[in-house]
Structure 1
Amino acid sequence: MAEFRKAWALGEVVTNNAPTPLTLVSAPGSFDATLKGFRKEIKNWETPKGSDGKVLEPHQFEVNASVALLGDDLAKLIRSNGTYDNSTDFLKTAIVTFLPVLLVVLLLVFLFRQQMKAAGRGAMSFGKSKARLLTMDRNKVTFKDVAGIQEAKEELWEIVDFLRDPRKFQKLGGSIPKGVLMVGPPGTGKTLLARAIAGEADVPFFSISGSDFVEMFVGVGASRVRDMFEQGKKHAPCLIFIDEIDAVGRHRGHGLGGGHDEREQTLNQLLVEMDGFDTQEGVIIIAATNRPDVLDPALLRPGRFDRQVTVSLPDFKGREEILKVHVKKIKLAANTDLGVIARGTPGFSGAELANLINEAALLAARKGMTAVTLAELEEARDKVRWGRERRSLALSDKEKENTAYHEAGHAILNEILEHTDPLHKVTIIPRGPSLGSTMFLPTEDKFTYRKAELLDQLVVAMGGRVAEEIVFGNVTNGAVGDIRMATHIARKMVCEWGMSEKLGMVEYGESDGEVFLARDLGRRANYSSATAKLIDEEVKGLIDHAYGDAKRLLIERRETLEVIAQALLEYETLDAEHIKDLIETGSMKNPPNSPKPPSIPDEYRKKETPKRADDGSTDDGGPLPGAVVGAPA
């Protein structure tokens, strides 16, 4: 603008050229303007000439101006020599006006579409089945990858064989089963079996969870059941796997809602589709659950689930086969006997054995080893069953001494009594939630317990508390787990196993399973108050008798108790051979090689507060083999 004023004063701005006058361009309502015109330069009061001697023509220029600041000057200029062009750029104005509104509308449409898709693959897809059609091209699992459950494999193999060659069964009048229910504890391989069926059967395989049926909208579950069977009919013959079917197949009439309950409507539709007036031929349902007691009876009858396959915990041979399957994934040292680990893992499920192998591999990797040896496998077994050693836990000498005598009492009684499982080892190193452990492992799988074995287990359980009382005369709360386990065993003996002479072979009370809603909430005791008093007396009598026997035996072996406790304080961990030597001769033939555990690096040290917990292990069927006994916690 300053240069324009100078050019104007010198007369360089052309104002008398009619075709191209000086023009002021401004939009309506805007203070910004542009001066457009032509300028002829004048130097030394003369018009410059070109190389050819001709006068140079004026050239065009544009100057940005502000109407608000230069209003008077511009108005005077326009009145004298220029023109005013009040033009409007309609396209620019429309874009500036409507673009923000258009962007907001597009954003809302995008968000709305995303919400509708997330609500069920579109607004009209709530009732569509969520069953996924599996393709087993990658990570294919077959029956060769499933071990330890031979009987279950044989029953399920019949279904695969039927799908491959149905004429083999139909020529004798046999028909394909409509449903197979796999029942078993968690981790026994029910889902793995389903994947193996999918890998073996050359038919479409759908997979869905029981919780995928029920939604917050009424009627969605039943609609999804219908759609699932419609998909199966199109792909028949096919297999449909429903995992955790107890989520939708629970007993009707015992829930919080009535007959209109959404879950019950879903179950009703499932019952009709499996065996109603309009059944779908060629659609086989394979379901899995670990709670068969809560399923509706109408779902379990033949015609719906024609076959129930029990997938139980593996035995010794099964555990060895499972270990052989899982060690294929790791580098195992030569001549490693997996039978030793199989014998030492009674009650382990397939998932726990897989975890054991993985823990052993991680332990070997931390040590910088090139292969996993038997030592790492045994340490991983102890870690999975009893917890990891907590060497960094700071214990006072008084607590260590009390723990040593407590565990020595358990170890002595376990060795001298006739009907007990072999001792594995005794340690006062904190492991898991306990401050010390007495570990024993059976030589073979046990499915029944004799009365003499249970009575000896009660005596062994009392050994820790009795040892504290004999040595210190002041007991601690470390026997809380022993007391709980002993009470559990004694009450089972009296109320369920008919091992009480006064009460006889009568079951008193129901099993200690989980309460199932209204079915069990109003259940009354099936015995009188007088019988309840007698039950308490019998339970207390069994425990008192065991306590008396433990006290008598340990007083007779007071010196042995002292020797074993001092050895534990010195070596911290003793094997069964060491305990036997101390009981028989008072000394060890082959003491442990490292009397003190190696120090751990500072980066692995963590300050922990001693916690009082318990590690006695029992289940509803009786004491678990290999349970930690008498750990003062």
Structure 2
Amino acid sequence: MTVDVAAARERDRRRRLRRVAYVLAPIALWMWWRILSGSPVSPGWPELPPDAVFWLPGIALVLLLAIVFIAPMFGAGKSPHTIYLPEQIEVGFDDVKGLGSVLSEVRHTLDVFLNHARFRDEMGGSPRRGVLFEGPPGTGKTHVAKAMAKEAGVPFLYVSSTAFQSMWYGATARKIRTYFRHLRKVARREGGAIGFIEEIDAIGIARGGVGMSPRMNSALTTEPAISQGTGGVVNELLIQMQSFDEPTRSDRIRNALTRGVNRFLPAERQIKTVPSPFANILLIGATNRADSLDKALLRPGRFDRVLHFGLPGRTERQELVEYFLQSKKHDSELDDPGAIDDVAAMTIGYTPASLERLFDEALLQALRGDRSALTRDDIRQAQLEVEIGLPNPVDYSPEERLTIATHEAGHATIAYLVGKGRKLELLSIIKRRDSLGMLAHREEEERFTQRASEMKAMLKISFGGMVAEEIFFGESGTGPAGDLSAATKLAADMVGSYGLGDAPVSFRAAQGGAFAGDFVAQVLNDPKARKAVDRILLDAKHDTAAILADHRYMVDALRQALLEHEELIGDEIIDVLRDAETAALAGSTALVDLRDRNPRIIEIKKRDEDSSPTP
């Protein structure tokens, strides 16, 4: 253990032993005096007079009523925290994966916490007293805080911010005071302590900010109407975060006596008061709504550092997959680096918590199959059930079944032809949640930006189902409703956010006002922007119709496979499409796009239509 924390803990241990000795020494001397004088102390119940049977029940009843009515008032201000000792915490830094540079900064913060005396007294710095962990749910904020307490070897005082709230007026602020009092006490006793407040935005929301209804005054101006209770809670939190070094009760009594004596002493002979002892405290707040916190909480001296816990990238997910597989019984094929990379690639947007849940669901899949180890197929099936929902087969009429198969085959064909860098995961006509059928596809490599051509390709994929219905049945129905909604939102973003309309204007710049409203509605209510959105959508639909007209045979092959199998997964989709291409190539010439990593046929012509030699 680091010297500063260990030394402080040893000093406090000896101080406690001396106090125990001071208390027990007089009692021990008195008991020896009784023994030596011939009247030793004999334990037992006190002797009660005969009339105690009359007045003792009344006293007991009064005491019981006092406990029932008065005890809750005393308990209203009790701190709701739970304290964990280092030996009770199972996670350490070796169990923290997928955080990259955030973990390095956490280690640095912990080093300063452990070597606070050197940093403060020798180097002249001010140790960090507060750190804010900000990020989406499940990214490891609580996990890292526990690991810090384990590595530091100090107590961990955990509390949820909602536990501070009370029905009694003023009791919430009193609970906050009590929590910080316990935090200071434990820190001085153990050489340090780490406090953790979960979802701190519940008690640290900006004063006069979110959720405050306006109040009109006589001059027709508006003022934020904020409840005194809410403002008082935030004020109490701000005060306590500035009072980490508040003097102890014994120091306050001693200083009060010293000041009383100094009133009778000349200035040159007055006694010095005791300075407030340093409490080695690190307060960690966790939230996924840092923008709603009061700005005073984020200034230096309170939360000195804000650490963002983002979604793990592909490399971080590989590290997490390897870590979780160590504790999950799995097939040996998952130990291959390629398999680990494949699982990391298919879990874009997953947090550490959601990744762990995915493996637990995969273990359930293995258990259902009467197997004792999970496989890659179990992970894929678990992902489908978690993200899309459980299969809910229904009896379609033959006509409706054919329509749904045609619709989904149209999506898949367009995704195969124009979705460069996208991998087809699942094609199904089995009902899941509100979807009668579906195409699941994702990027082969993790991307953070999109080009205009890629967004236009996504629009074409959205129109694939609608256009396929029109080609094969002469009309479309209610099926494309969700596709049109997604396409309209994307087109609105292209015009209103990315400058891909008739003018390079961003509607996002006007957001945040009192009458901002929904972003898509803003774009569609502007006549020029609406015209640009209409043009983008109509162009995408026209291009989709031209592509499917030339590749109708692929749609037909896919829908026939769907009618037979109901569901195609991964390579099964590609095999059907390539078999259809092979059959169409007989007696034909093909135009192949070699710019893609996986070359695809983009046009097929009969030889009598093209006099050029066969490539």
Aligned residues: 478
| Uncovered stretches (5+) of structure 2, i.e. residues with no partner | 1-52, 214-223, 247-277, 584-615
In the alignment, does 2:343 pair up with 1:341?
yes
The equivalent of 2:378 in structure 1 is 376
Post-superposition offset of 1:576: 4.5
* TM-score for both structures, normalised by structure 2: 0.71
Distance 1:108 1:418, change over 3 A: same
- Pairing of 1:295-334 with structure 2 (within 5 A): 295-334=293-332
Unmatched tracts of structure 1, length 5 or more: 1-94, 512-519, 590-633
1:387 aligned residue: 389
In structure 2, do the counterparts of structure 1 residues 345 and 277 end up closer, same or farther at CA, with 3 Å as the change threshold?
Answer: closer
Q: Secondary structure at the match of 1:180?
A: strand
> Which of the residues 233, 237, 242 maps onto 2:197?
242
8 Å Cα contact 1:183-1:308 kept in structure 2: yes
Aligned AA for 1:250?
I
Query: 1:185, 1:116 → 2: CA distance?
Result: 42
Residues 1:162 and 2:112 aligned together: yes
CA distance in 1, matches of 2:202, 2:155: 24
1:185 maps to a residue whose letter is P
Tell me which amino acid in the other structure corresponds to 1:142: G
Amino acid at match of 2:463: M
For 1:295 and 1:326, locate their aligned partners in 2 and report how far apart those are by CA, in whole Å.
34
1:271 matches 2:225: no
Distance 2:462 2:226 in 1: 50
Percent of counterpart pairs with the same letter? 32
Question: Residue 253 of structure 2 corresponds to which residue in structure 1?
Answer: none
Deviation string, structure 1 residues 113-150 (Cα, Å, up to 9, x no partner): 46765x4xxx2232232222212434511111121112
How far apart in 2 are the matches of 1:425 and 1:543?
26
Aligned residue in 2 for 1:85: none
1:237-263 CA deviation, whole Å, 9 max, x = no partner? 322111001101111113248455212
1:129 pairs with 2:79:
yes
Alpha-carbon spacing, 1:528–1:418, altered in 2? closer, same or farther (3 Å): closer
Question: Equivalent of 1:148, from 76, 98, 116?
Answer: 98
Q: Structure 2: how far apart are the matches of 1:562 and 1:534?
A: 40
Are residues 157 and 339 of structure 1, via their aligned partners in 2, closer, same or farther at CA, if it must alter by over 3 Å? Answer: same
Q: What amino acid maps onto 2:201 in structure 1?
A: D
Q: CA deviation at 1:284?
A: 2.1
Identify the residue that residue 43 of structure 1 maps to in structure 2: none
Asked whether 1:201 is paired with 2:152, we answer: yes
What is the aligned partner in structure 2 of residue 4 from structure 1?
A: none
Q: Which residue of 1 aligns with 2:447?
A: 446
Q: Which amino acid aligns with 1:333?
A: D
Deviation, 1:397, is 2.2
Q: Paired residue for 1:548, among 542, 546, 550?
A: 542
- Aligned residue for 1:39? none
Of 262, 286, 290, the residue aligned with 2:229 is 262
> Cα deviation per residue 1:416-470 (whole Å; 9 max; x = unaligned)?
1154522223122223432211111222222112221111101101111111122
Mapped contact 1:498–1:507 kept (Cα < 8 A): no
- Of 165, 173, 182 in structure 1, the residue corresponding to residue 124 of structure 2 is 173
Contact 1:486 1:543 in 2 (8 A): yes
Paired residues of 2:358 and 2:382 also in contact (CA < 8 A)? yes
Distance (Å, rounded) in 2 between the aligned partners of 1:220 and 1:183: 28
The residue matched to 2:157 in structure 1 has which SS? strand
Deviation at 1:306, TM superposition (A): 1.0
Give 3-state SS (helix, strand or coil) of 1:389's partner: coil
Contact 1:134 1:206 in 2 (8 A): yes
SS at match of 1:312: coil
Indicate yes or no: 2:183 matched with 1:224: no
Amino acid at match of 1:153: L
| Contact 1:420–1:453 under 8 Å retained in 2 | no
346-355 or 172-181: bigger deviation: 172-181
Identify if the C-alpha distance between structure 1 residues 270 and 354 changes in structure 2 by more than 3 Å, giving closer, same or farther.
same
SS at match of 2:285: strand
Residue 528 of structure 1: how far off its partner (Å): 9.7
- Code of the residue aligned with 1:272 in structure 2: it is I
What are the superposed Cα offsets for residues 366-392 of structure 1, whole Å, 9 maximum, x if unpaired? 11112112221221122222222234x
Q: CA deviation at 1:211?
A: 1.2
3-state SS of the aligned residue for 1:124? helix
CA distance in 2: counterparts of 1:484 and 1:115, whole angstroms: 59
For 1:537, the equivalent position in structure 2 comes to 531
Seen in structure 2, the aligned counterparts of structure 1 residues 276 and 259 have a Cα distance that, compared at 3 Å, is: farther
Match of 1:595 in 2: none
Q: CA deviation at 1:268?
A: 0.7
Deviation at 1:106, TM superposition (A): 7.8
Give the 3 Å change call, closer, same or farther, for CA 316–115 of structure 1 in structure 2: farther
CA offsets, 1:39-81, max 9 Å, x none? xxxxxxxxxxxxxxxxxxxxxxxxxxxxxxxxxxxxxxxxxxx
C-alpha distance in structure 2 between counterparts of 1:204 and 1:530, whole Å:
56
Cα offset, 1:326, TM superposition: 2.4
Question: How well do the aligned residues superpose, as a CA RMSD in angstroms?
Answer: 3.2
Would you say the 8 A contact 1:360–1:376 is kept in 2?
yes
The residue number in structure 1 matching 2:285 is 287
Kept in 1: contact 2:89–2:146 (CA 8 A): no
Distance in structure 1 (CA, Å) of the matches to 2:136 and 2:533: 30
Change over 3 Å in CA distance of 1:563–1:259 after alignment to 2: closer
Deviation of 1:307 (Å): 0.6
* Larger deviation, residues 527-536 vs 335-344: 527-536
> Residue by residue, what CA displacement relative to the aligned partner does 1:212-253 show, whole Å, maximum 9, x if unpaired?
222222222222222222222222332211100110111111
1:374 maps to a residue whose letter is R
Counterpart residue type for residue 586 of structure 1: A
Structure-2 change in CA distance of 1:168 and 1:419 (3 Å): farther
Question: How much does 1:281 deviate?
Answer: 4.8
Q: How does 1:514-529 map to 2 (within 5 A)?
A: none
The answer on whether the counterparts of 1:214 and 1:263 sit within 8 Å (CA) in structure 2 is no
Matched, 1:456 2:457: yes
> Structure 2 vs 1, CA of residues 409 and 112 (structure 1 numbering), >3 Å: closer, same or farther?
farther
In the TM superposition, what is the alpha-carbon distance from 1:291 to its structure 2 partner? 0.9
Which stretch of the first structure deviates more once superposed, 369-378 or 523-532?
523-532
Find the partner of 2:184 among 233, 236, 251.
233
Letter in 1 for 2:199: E
d(CA) in 2 for partners of 1:588 and 1:579? Answer: 14
The structure with the largest helix share of the pair is 2
Equivalent position amino acid for 2:383 in 1: R
The alignment partner of 1:235 has SS state of helix
Is 1:182 aligned with 2:149? no
1:492-520 Cα offsets, whole Å, 9 max, x none, are: 22222233242435635427xxxxxxxx7
Q: What's 1:557 paired with?
A: 551
SS of the counterpart of 1:561?
helix
Assess, with a 3 A threshold, how the Cα gap between structure 1 residues 577 and 220 changes in structure 2: closer, same or farther. same
Q: How far apart in 1 are the matches of 2:514 and 2:150? A: 44
**Code of the aligned partner of 1:235:** V
Deviation at 1:109, TM superposition (A): 7.3
Which secondary structure does the structure 2 equivalent of 1:404 belong to?
A: helix
Q: Which has the larger radius of gyration?
A: 1
Q: CA deviation digits over 1:564-610, x for unaligned, max 9? A: 11111112222444444444441799xxxxxxxxxxxxxxxxxxxxx
Change (3 A) 1:277 1:563: closer
SS of equivalent residue, structure 2 residue 195: strand
CA distance in 2, matches of 1:108, 1:195: 46
Partners of 2:95 and 2:245 in 1: how far apart?
38
Q: Structure 1 residues 115 and 458 mapped into 2: Cα distance closer, same or farther (>3 Å)? A: farther
Give, in angstroms, the shift of residue 183 of structure 1.
0.9
